[in-house]
A and B are shown apart, each in its own frame.
Chain A
Amino acid sequence: MKPTGSLAHRIVSNGWKQVLLVLFSFLCLFPLYYLIVTAFKSQGEYIRNLFGIPLGPILSNFATVFRGGRFLRWLANSILLTAGSVLAALVIALAAAWAFAKMEFRGREPIFGLMLILMIIPPVVMVIPLFKIMIALRILNTYHSVILIYTGLTLPFSIYLLASFFRTVPGAIIDSARIDGCRDLRILASIAVPLSAPAIITIVLVNALWVWNELLVAVIFLQKDELKTLMVGLTVFKSRYNLDIPVTMAGLTLATIPMLALYFAGQKYFIKGLVAGAVK
């Protein structure tokens, strides 16, 4: 809506709105502020100065975090699992979504409907049988078992989102490509994918965020310390350094900064992607 009236009038009439928004922004930002400033405090300073900006900022908490190389190992595991499952889900979902959106075949509607139903199934329901499968196949405590699970869990949403995006690719473009002798796979790769770049970036970001933050599957299927993901590792950290809060906070800060950077860089896509399912 268009704001009316003089600037002064606007400020007064918007005053209560600004107050409310500032209050909520403060609530959102405070835990993050607390996290980051604490990471730079010594144990002693933290006890004396809970809220304030560190008066004698130190970096040794970060050194403690990296000591022994566990943290870097967990970080590498998370990156590997995230990259692997996001990529696998993307390739598989692209092919399936293309078929659902642009091909005629028997069973299309019921199978697509199944995808929507799968989205509401709590992952915890599948965990016990999956655990037994992984034991039977002797792939418990391996990356590929977890990549398989993550790929599966993110597929329904990815297919759904990509298919609704592909539906907007005009049939005329596809028809003319087909007349030129392009086959389906070529059309998908050289026409549909470039046209759907925003949807693809969205899927990649949303799935990456989901896998990066996942805990249940990571706790159950990767039980060896050297295989743990960063998020599971952080909970280990918390119990290990329970008395040294600044060290834990340094670990959390290091785990959070990449995500914040990704968020502020790709904000447009995050927001678009997360609301894409509902707003047409």
Chain B
Amino acid sequence: MQRLRPYLFIAPALAVIAIVFVYPVVEVARLSLFRVSGGRESFAGLGNYLSLFRDPVFLRALQHNGLLLVAVPIMLFLGLVLAVLLFEGVGGWKAYRSILFMPYILAIPVVGIVFSYIFQLNGILNQGLRAIGLDFLAADWLGSSRFALWTVMFVVIWKEFGFGVVLFLARLMSVEEELYEAASLEGAGWLQVLFRITIPQLATVIEFYVVIMVITMLSWVFNYVYVMTSGGPGNATMVAEYYIYLEGFRYNLQGIAAAASIVLLAVTAILILARSRITRRIELE
């Protein structure tokens, strides 16, 4: 009995996880090998995957997820610069921290709707540009396929970058002060301190942050796309998640949606694994 006790403690959690994670992932893998129509399933082998990779919309969706990864280094850079600034004891740093983190806690639907009014053809950004005589810069930010994806990316960065600032700042504040004192005694310059102490001390947090943000860009942009563009114009902002949602729930092609889910899962897993491989190799050297 005593030996069973721990299992009683974890049983509820395992039961819920089995229903919400384990069974669905297994079922999606199975479903990806079947053609589903009218409630009937017929084995299709890799047929769904083949039609998936022949579907230009899906390929574009993957490509867009890849392009959105550009936001990761941008957010990393912004987060590092701003965290270091705040850490260096700029007056009012606590207030700045609250403000910079604020977008992160706002709801994506709220942020998405507000920004879609800002970026409308006659929205306040373009009106503002026209008012100061910069008409030539005004554009249909969300309505043209040239800009839409980048506009969505801007909004994602706007909402998420504050997390990096707060994360890096928290780590910096736990670095032993002696390190910095020793550096200043030895007359190290600002850049030297940055590259010799600050960044090495932040290495693990940076890795964590990059992993989280890669996951965000691959599998957490549904909300933005759903609210701002619905994947348009003309699939210009189609992403994997939205594709799965459309195939599965609008067009009722469950086999295709399941295959796309497995591809998304595989891409996420490969990127995360590659990432930890690379850092392990760097640590070994």
Chain B binds chain A: yes
How far does the alpha carbon of A105 sit from the alpha carbon of B113 in the complex, in Å?
Answer: 50
How far does the alpha carbon of A235 sit from the alpha carbon of B17 in the complex, in Å?
Answer: 30
Contact of A213 among B81, B107, B226, B269 (CB under 8 A): B107
| Given A122-B241, A152-B17, A215-B109: A1 in contact with B118 (beta carbons within 8 A) | no
Interface residue? B72 (CB, 8 A) = no
Interface residue? B43 (CB, 8 A) = no
Contact of B170 among A1, A260, A279 (CB under 8 A): A279
Are A28 and B89 neighbours in the complex by a CB distance under 8 Å? no
Contact of A259 among B20, B105, B248 (CB under 8 A): B105
Are B113 and A120 neighbours in the complex by a CB distance under 8 Å? no
A-B contact count (CB 8 A): 255
| Given A105-B3, A252-B110: A124 in contact with B222 (beta carbons within 8 A) | yes
Are A35 and B99 neighbours in the complex by a CB distance under 8 Å? no
How many Å from the CB of A37 to the closest CB on chain B?
A: 11
Interface residue? B69 (CB, 8 A) = no
Interfacial chain B residues near A120, Cβ < 8 Å: 211, 215, 268-269, 272
Interfacial chain A residues near B7, Cβ < 8 Å: 99, 105
Interface residue? A142 (CB, 8 A) = no
Interfacial chain A residues near B227, Cβ < 8 Å: 215, 235, 238
Interface residue? A155 (CB, 8 A) = yes
The secondary-structure label for the interface of chain B is helix
The number of chain B residues touching the other chain, given as a range, is 35 or more
How far does the alpha carbon of A50 sit from the alpha carbon of B118 in the complex, in Å?
Answer: 10
How many Å from the CB of A4 to the closest CB on chain B?
A: 10
How far does the alpha carbon of A194 sit from the alpha carbon of B104 in the complex, in Å?
Answer: 29
Chain B 74-95: CB-based contact to A (< 8 A → 1; otherwise 0): 0000000110011111110000
- Spot the interface stretch: B21-29, B49-57, B140-148: B21-29
| Given A103-B6, A235-B227, A275-B167: A149 in contact with B244 (beta carbons within 8 A) | no
Are A271 and B101 neighbours in the complex by a CB distance under 8 Å? yes
Chain A 79-114: CB-based contact to B (< 8 A → 1; otherwise 0): 000000000000011011011100111001001000
Interface residue? B136 (CB, 8 A) = no
Interfacial chain A residues near B171, Cβ < 8 Å: 275, 278-279
Are B118 and A95 neighbours in the complex by a CB distance under 8 Å? no
Interfacial chain A residues near B21, Cβ < 8 Å: 118, 121, 126, 152
CB-nearest residue of chain B to A256: B110
Chain B 195-229: CB-based contact to A (< 8 A → 1; otherwise 0): 00000000011001101000100111011001100
How far does the alpha carbon of A95 sit from the alpha carbon of B208 in the complex, in Å?
Answer: 27
Are A129 and B110 neighbours in the complex by a CB distance under 8 Å? no
Q: How many residues belonging to A are interface residues under a CB distance threshold of 8 Å?
A: 86
Interface residue? A6 (CB, 8 A) = no
How many Å from the CB of A40 to the closest CB on chain B?
A: 15
Contact of A122 among B102, B115, B208, B264 (CB under 8 A): B264
Are A234 and B249 neighbours in the complex by a CB distance under 8 Å? no
Interfacial chain B residues near A155, Cβ < 8 Å: 13, 16-17, 20
How many Å from the CB of B73 to the closest CB on chain A?
A: 18
How far does the alpha carbon of A150 sit from the alpha carbon of B47 in the complex, in Å?
Answer: 33
Interface residue? A216 (CB, 8 A) = yes
Are B111 and A31 neighbours in the complex by a CB distance under 8 Å? yes
Are A92 and B99 neighbours in the complex by a CB distance under 8 Å? no
How many Å from the CB of A197 to the closest CB on chain B?
A: 20
Are B107 and A212 neighbours in the complex by a CB distance under 8 Å? yes
Are A234 and B110 neighbours in the complex by a CB distance under 8 Å? yes
- Spot the interface stretch: A15-23, A65-73, A172-180: A15-23
Are B114 and A252 neighbours in the complex by a CB distance under 8 Å? yes
Are B12 and A17 neighbours in the complex by a CB distance under 8 Å? no
Interface residue? A2 (CB, 8 A) = yes
Task: Give residues of chain B (24-42) contacting chain A, Cβ–Cβ below 8 Å.
Answer: 24-25, 27-28, 31
CB-nearest residue of chain A to B88: A1
Are B96 and A21 neighbours in the complex by a CB distance under 8 Å? yes
Interfacial chain B residues near A111, Cβ < 8 Å: 10, 14
Identify the A interface with B (CB < 8 A).
1-3, 14, 17-18, 20-21, 24-25, 27-29, 31-32, 34-35, 50-51, 92-93, 95-96, 98-100, 103-105, 108, 111, 118, 120-133, 148-149, 151-153, 155-156, 159, 184, 209, 212-213, 215-216, 219-220, 231-232, 234-235, 238, 245, 248-249, 252, 255-256, 259-260, 263-264, 267, 270-272, 274-275, 277-279
Instruction: Kindly list the 4 A-B residue pairs having the minimum CB-CB distance in the complex, ordered from nearest.
Output: A152-B20, A122-B219, A99-B9, A126-B24
Identify the B interface with A (CB < 8 A).
3, 5-7, 9-10, 12-14, 16-17, 19-21, 23-25, 27-28, 31, 81-82, 85-91, 96-111, 113-118, 124, 127-128, 158, 162-163, 166-167, 170-171, 174, 180, 184, 204-205, 208-209, 211, 215, 218-220, 222-223, 226-227, 240-241, 244-245, 248-249, 254, 257-258, 261-262, 264-265, 268-269, 272
